Chain A
Amino acid sequence: MRRALPWLIPVLLVAAWQLAAMLGLLSAQVLPAPTDVAAAGWELARSGTLWTNIEISAWRAMVGFAIGGGIGFALGIMNGLSPVSETLTDSTLQMLRNIPHLALIPLVILWFGIGEEAKVFLVALGVFFPIYLNTQHGVRSVDPHLLEMGRAYGMSNAAMFWHVVLPGALPSIFVGLRYGLGIMWLTLIVAETIAATSGIGYMAMNAREFMQVNVVVLSILVYAVLGKLADSVARLLERNALKWNPTYAKV
């Protein structure tokens, strides 16, 4: 029973939506009925277009995340551990962070055109900062008592890193991961809407040209489902990696 309760409100909303559409309170041009959206989804799934577009969008998202997240993670670790590295690079990075990456879209299009590189670049840029900041913060805030214990017990620097620093930084790193995932989808949606010839965003813009509102709504739902999926995977990883922590034991 308790597991079903969180779904109560969404189900009621969808039911109300369906009812409103059927009663003519909602024009099909404003918001088509759920059944209409489902039908469009079924059609696109059958023809394969839906899957192709999802695949392309997912690919861009993952590659961008891997690049931006990978660099962000590496720099976060370095700047967390090394005061020299931090002094050299952190200010520059903070300055760059204050430029909203979505505002760079016109520049990116000029540089990269509307090919895959442009979208992957934007996603990588967006994902970089939350992961960098949270990784660095995680490394810096490892319990100094544990670090001292490690030193007192003769742990090598490598052992300290793998057994004390990294596990201690993990909760923060996961926060960065989940933030990064959210920004990944956001960036992708915008990038695909503005400059694309494939993908879910393109599918939505194309549908808009032909007044296929149901496809537009479908695209939004697909993005939402993908976003939820990514977050669920992240939460699963988090629960698994942090099962020693009382805060996460019951999540």
Chain B
Amino acid sequence: MPPFAARGAAVTLRDVSKAFGEHRVLRGIDLDIPPGEFVAVVGRSGCGKSTLLRLLAGLDDPTSGTIEIDERRGDRSEAVRLMFQEPRLLPWQRVAANVAVGLAHAQTRRERHNLAEEALLQVGLAGRELHWPMVLSGGQKQRVALARALVSHPGLLLLDEPLGALDALTRIEMQDLIESVWQDKGFTAIVVTHDVSEAVALADRILLLEQGQIALDVEIDLPRPRHRGDAAAAEIEGRVLDRLLRR
């Protein structure tokens, strides 16, 4: 468990279902996530994991059931932040301005600049405030996106396959970055990923979604920092994969 658990948001889902017309994507999900936990959601394409994240982010409403974040329903604003698979930076604004997009409520110019600077420092991009997004690499853009998600100090950070578009080495660096930021800030994190080894490397808990329901809920009690190639990690990964692939 991270040292600053009190700063994360508690997430509660009760009987959450989501249907798009006739197609039922999520069926009666019940879930309790304590503050500061790092949860990974894995599953095949179409199992509903991205939909679940969008519901949590407030981009969509459940067909039935309730979602409470820190015991509040409805408008989440700065408490919840979402990171997409693409960086989704505004190409016509410089890096610092892009990070400041995450500061929804008006601050003074000085405050906005300082907070953006601090966030960029944390993701390892200090000094890049005035660059245009177009000069950054894919990994750097994702780091700006991470800074944007963190700048308002959210209690819940949602990550929708954020590393899928990166090369393998950059992916590992980003995983380390996300883990260290999470340990420092103590927010609750939910990452959706198709990569089970990534889930094992990052999360305290893995949820396997299958046809809109939670088919597996595994605690990962390995010490951090986790080493890839560790036997215990591999065992968990194998277990989850077997269930995922129904072997």
Which bracket fits the contact residues of A?
10 to 19
CB within 8 Å for A244 and B86 given contacts A152-B59, A154-B78: no
Q: Does A246 contact B (CB under 8 A)?
A: yes
Instruction: With both chains docked as a complex, state the minimum distance between the C-beta of B165 and any C-beta of chain A, in angstroms.
Output: 12
Q: Which of B58, B78, B134 has the most CB of A within 10 A?
A: B134
> Contacts of A150 on B, CB cut-off 8 Å?
101
Contact with B along A151-183 (1 / 0, CB 8 A): 111110000000110011010000000000000
CB within 8 Å for A146 and B84 given contacts A153-B104, A245-B134: no
The one of B81, B88, B92 in contact with A145, judged by C-beta atoms closer than 8 angstroms, is B88
Q: CB-nearest residue of chain A relative to B76? A: A154
> Contacts of A151 on B, CB cut-off 8 Å?
59
Q: Does B102 contact A (CB under 8 A)?
A: yes
In the bound assembly, the distance between CA atoms of A154 and B148 in angstroms comes to 13
Within 8 A of A (CB), among B32-66: 57-59
In the bound assembly, the distance between CA atoms of A155 and B103 in angstroms comes to 10
Interface on A for B, CB 8 Å cutoff?
145-146, 148-155, 163-164, 167-168, 170, 244-246, 249
Q: List 14 A-B contacts (CB under 8 A).
A: A145-B84, A146-B88, A149-B101, A150-B101, A152-B59, A152-B82, A153-B81, A154-B77, A155-B104, A163-B90, A163-B93, A168-B92, A244-B134, A249-B134
Q: CB-nearest residue of chain A relative to B88? A: A149
Which 7 residue pairs spanning A and B have beta carbons closest together?
A154-B104, A149-B88, A167-B92, A244-B92, A152-B82, A246-B134, A244-B132
Q: Does B91 contact A (CB under 8 A)?
A: yes
In the bound assembly, the distance between CA atoms of A148 and B57 in angstroms comes to 11
Within 8 A of A (CB), among B179-218: none
In the bound assembly, the distance between CA atoms of A154 and B57 in angstroms comes to 11
Q: CB-nearest residue of chain B relative to A241? A: B92
In the bound assembly, the distance between CA atoms of A249 and B88 in angstroms comes to 20
> Contacts of B132 on A, CB cut-off 8 Å?
244
CB within 8 Å for A145 and B86 given contacts A152-B59, A167-B92, A246-B134: yes
In the bound assembly, the distance between CA atoms of A204 and B92 in angstroms comes to 46
Q: CB-nearest residue of chain B relative to A245? A: B91
Q: CB-nearest residue of chain B relative to A167? A: B92
The interface on chain B, measured as residues whose beta carbon lies within 8 A of the other chain's beta carbons, has a size of 21
In the bound assembly, the distance between CA atoms of A150 and B77 in angstroms comes to 12
Q: CB-nearest residue of chain B relative to A246? A: B134
Additional pairs, 8, CB under 8 Å, beyond known A145-B84, A150-B101, A244-B133: A149-B84, A151-B59, A152-B59, A154-B77, A167-B92, A168-B92, A245-B92, A249-B134
In the bound assembly, the distance between CA atoms of A136 and B135 in angstroms comes to 29
CB within 8 Å for A153 and B102 given contacts A148-B59, A244-B134, A246-B134: yes
In the bound assembly, the distance between CA atoms of A217 and B90 in angstroms comes to 49
Contact across chains for B90 and A164 when beta carbons are under 8 A apart: yes
Contact across chains for A152 and B57 when beta carbons are under 8 A apart: yes
Contact across chains for B77 and A244 when beta carbons are under 8 A apart: no
Q: CB-nearest residue of chain A relative to B86? A: A145
Instruction: With both chains docked as a complex, state the minimum distance between the C-beta of A100 and any C-beta of chain B, in angstroms.
Output: 37
Instruction: With both chains docked as a complex, state the minimum distance between the C-beta of A146 and any C-beta of chain B, in angstroms.
Output: 6
Q: CB-nearest residue of chain B relative to A242? A: B92
In the bound assembly, the distance between CA atoms of A167 and B93 in angstroms comes to 10
In the bound assembly, the distance between CA atoms of A170 and B90 in angstroms comes to 13
In the bound assembly, the distance between CA atoms of A148 and B134 in angstroms comes to 20
In the bound assembly, the distance between CA atoms of A155 and B59 in angstroms comes to 13
Q: CB-nearest residue of chain B relative to A164? A: B90
Contact across chains for B101 and A153 when beta carbons are under 8 A apart: yes
> Contacts of B91 on A, CB cut-off 8 Å?
244-245
> Contacts of B102 on A, CB cut-off 8 Å?
153
In the bound assembly, the distance between CA atoms of A163 and B93 in angstroms comes to 9
Instruction: With both chains docked as a complex, state the minimum distance between the C-beta of B53 and any C-beta of chain A, in angstroms.
Output: 11
In the bound assembly, the distance between CA atoms of A163 and B57 in angstroms comes to 21
Instruction: With both chains docked as a complex, state the minimum distance between the C-beta of B58 and any C-beta of chain A, in angstroms.
Output: 8
> Contacts of A168 on B, CB cut-off 8 Å?
92
In the bound assembly, the distance between CA atoms of A6 and B165 in angstroms comes to 43
In the bound assembly, the distance between CA atoms of A150 and B101 in angstroms comes to 8
Within 8 A of A (CB), among B103-143: 104, 132-134
In the bound assembly, the distance between CA atoms of A146 and B59 in angstroms comes to 13
> Contacts of B78 on A, CB cut-off 8 Å?
154
> Contacts of A245 on B, CB cut-off 8 Å?
91-92, 134
Instruction: With both chains docked as a complex, state the minimum distance between the C-beta of A148 and any C-beta of chain B, in angstroms.
Output: 7
